[in-house]
Amino acid sequence: MTDASHWTEPGAHEVAPGIHRIPLPLPMDGLRAVNVYALETERGLVLVDGGWAIEESRRQLESSLAAIGYEVGDITRFLVTHVHRDHYTQASVVRREFGAHVSLGVGDKPTLDLMRDLDVVEDPTVVQLRRAGAGKLGEAWAKAMHGDRPDLAMWDYPDEWLSEDFTLDVAGRELEAVSTPGHTQGHYVFADLADGLLFAGDHVLPTITPSVGFEPVYAELPLGDFLASLAKVRALPDLRLLPAHGPVTESSHTRIDELLAHHDERLRLCLDAVESGLDTAYDVAQVLPWTRHQRRMRELDVFNATLATLETAAHLDLLAAQTRIVRADVDGAFHYTGLPPA
């Protein structure tokens, strides 16, 4: 039985002495599961990420911890890689119940601020889709999300905001906390250089490319941030990759190189599309292939079409920042054109 074939199989799977990978279910998500990592210490457990606060995930967490002789109340700390619900919300709930200390990157504070702001009138994703030339998709998004207000009990502020890069002592185990904005503005990875391990969150995933540009509070150049973060982690030693989604793999460098090559190719395709005359992110996204199955936009549901459109916008905005194309705001939508002949 290989980890790659069965990475979603329930249980507490030892990846190093005193470190266990615990896949928790995501029944409404195509990703199927999220890996949280339990680090044993003399004072209890430290978890990298927490899972999604749903009953099925909580039951699986309890049974997995019991298999290695622990209970949920033994969790003393969560190091959350980023604010997405499948990583953050269960940590927030366990904190309320047992007082576990929760850490999160400060770059994700604007997202939590917005989620807790009851006076927000318009969904910011609708605004972003309008800027991407996808007004009708924005209407479909608004209809699909109508009345979907977050349960604030799952979205408390953390005990600690992480900023910059620093060394973290986890009961004698040194972890390098590395700020890696891109997937979200507050994303962190944690590197155990002594044991050659990288707790990568969603920054480096072994079989899929993390989404970029899908945040309620939009970064100025999310793809630029992501590529710079990849380069930062690539400058670390080659580490065993412990991802949030997918199997453990042996080389962080190999996967980072693949991700960098993927985005180089996407930038080239976006540039070609603009030079062919397509001028909005939504129009460009229509001609690009999506997912490993090379699907077209018309085959995607509203959620994934939104991801595709906003990721295309992130690529086009980076091309504009690199002065490889020109961006103009026309009546609230961004339009892109090729450079004039020299």
Kindly state the percentage of the chain with pLDDT values over 70: 97
Question: What is the three-class DSSP state of 38?
Answer: strand
pLDDT of residue 3: 46
pLDDT of residue 6: 86
What is the per-residue DSSP string for 118-135? TT--S-HHHHHHHHTT-H
Query: How far is 283 from 229, CA to CA, in rounded Å?
Result: 28
Higher model confidence: residue 293 or residue 213? 213
The kind and range of the H/E element at 200 are strand 197-201
pLDDT digits (tens, 9 = 90+) for 76-91: 999 999 999 999 999 9
Whether residue 212 contacts residue 204, with contact meaning beta carbons closer than 8 Å, is answered with: no
pLDDT digits (tens, 9 = 90+) for 246-302: 999 999 999 999 999 999 999 999 999 999 999 999 999 999 999 888 899 999 999
Question: What is the three-class DSSP state of 336?
Answer: strand
Cα–Cα nearest to 178, from 229, 228, 215:
229
In this predicted structure, the answer to whether residue 147 has a pLDDT above a threshold of 70 is: no
Kindly state the percentage of the chain with pLDDT values over 90: 86
pLDDT digits (tens, 9 = 90+) for 96-123: 999 999 999 999 999 999 988 877 778 8
> What's the pLDDT band for 4 if we cut at 50, 70, 90?
very low
Domains in the chain: ranges and CATH: 13-126+158-251 (3.60.15.10), 260-338 (1.10.10)
What is the per-residue DSSP string for 142-185? HHHHTT----GGG-PPPSEEE-S-EEEEETTEEEEEEE--SSST
Whether residue 155 contacts residue 104, with contact meaning beta carbons closer than 8 Å, is answered with: no
Average the pLDDT over each of 35-49, 107-121, 156-170 and give the range with the smallest value: 107-121
Question: What is the three-class DSSP state of 275?
Answer: helix
**Mean local confidence (pLDDT), 7-15:** 96
pLDDT of residue 119: 73
Question: What is the three-class DSSP state of 22?
Answer: strand
Query: How far is 29 from 31, CA to CA, in rounded Å?
Result: 5
The set of long-range contacts for 123-129, using a CB threshold of 8 Å and a minimum separation of 24, is 124/216, 124/217, 124/218, 125/214, 125/216, 125/306, 125/310, 128/218, 128/310, 128/313, 129/282, 129/306, 129/309, 129/310
Average pLDDT over all residues of the chain? 94
pLDDT of residue 61: 98
In this predicted structure, the answer to whether residue 93 has a pLDDT above a threshold of 70 is: yes
Whether residue 87 contacts residue 49, with contact meaning beta carbons closer than 8 Å, is answered with: yes
Whether residue 330 contacts residue 171, with contact meaning beta carbons closer than 8 Å, is answered with: no
> What's the pLDDT band for 2 if we cut at 50, 70, 90?
very low
H helices, E strands: number in the chain: 9, 14
Edge-first strand order for the sheet with 166-170 is 166-170, 173-179, 188-192, 197-201, 240-243
φ, ψ for residue 306 (rounded to 5)?
Answer: -65, -45
Cross-strand bridge partners of residue 312: none
pLDDT digits (tens, 9 = 90+) for 219-240: 999 999 999 999 999 999 999 9
Whose structure tokens read 């050659």? 196
Whether residue 255 contacts residue 270, with contact meaning beta carbons closer than 8 Å, is answered with: no
**Mean local confidence (pLDDT), 134-139:** 96
